[in-house]
Amino acid sequence: MRLASKLVVIAVLSLAACGHKKPEGGGGEGTAAPKSLYDRLGGKDAITVVVDDFVTNVAGDARINKFFTAAAGDPNEMNHFKEMLVDQICNATGGPCEYKGKSMPEAHKGMGITHEDFTALVEDLKKSLDAHDVPAQEQSELLGALGPLEPDIVGK
């Protein structure tokens, strides 16, 4: 994986820590099983739209776009990168996709990511979620997983 691709993996692998699972069985009689976060987000198509917007935000963010110059210059690398992000978010939110990437410490080793870089990435993701009218509860579930993973990413 190229150095440029690794930073965006921060967000997606962080989301994997959400631990959301597809609901098992229904509730009591007359109550429907709660929908997975994946379903509440609108499924893979909706996740793909948000990821496309997110990558655009990151590419335009002078605070962190230096981490993405290699991927931005190669359309094949960028497409692979986006597909990987979509699969990670899909999987992390209870969808049917499978992510086969590296662990957080392994993916970010030697990158020198700072707290400020991490915060900028989260802000770019939040901007994309807002732009696509993702409800506050779903945003909270996604973004709530980012903070605890910061120690596995920053300074690795």
The boundaries of the domain holding residue 102 are 3-17+46-153
Joined together, the tokens standing for residue 152 give: 């596995």
Q: Is residue 109 assigned to a domain?
A: yes
State the greatest distance between any 2 C-alpha atoms of the chain, in Å, as a whole number. Answer: 55
Q: Is residue 96 assigned to a domain?
A: yes
Residue type, 146: L
DSSP codes joined into one string, 90-126: HHHTT-S-------HHHHHTTS---HHHHHHHHHHHH
The single residue listed with the structure tokens 């901007």 is 127
Q: Is residue 108 assigned to a domain?
A: yes
Count structural domains, the chain.
Answer: 1
Assign residue 68 the CATH number of its domain: 1.10.490.10
* pTM exceeds 0.85 for this model: no
Determine the Cα angle at 101 with ends 54 and 109, to 5°: 85
How deeply is 148 buried, as exposed, middle or buried, from its count of CB atoms within 10 A (0-12, 13-18, 19+)? exposed
Look at 69 and 98; give whichever has higher pLDDT.
Answer: 98
The single residue listed with the structure tokens 């655009």 is 56
Query: Using 50, 70 and 90 to split pLDDT, how confident is the model at 143?
Result: confident
Give the pLDDT of residue 5: 37
Chain-wide mean pLDDT for the chain? 80
Express each pLDDT in 43-66 by its tens digit.
Answer: 999 999 999 999 999 999 999 998
Q: Is residue 133 assigned to a domain?
A: yes
Q: Is residue 12 assigned to a domain?
A: yes
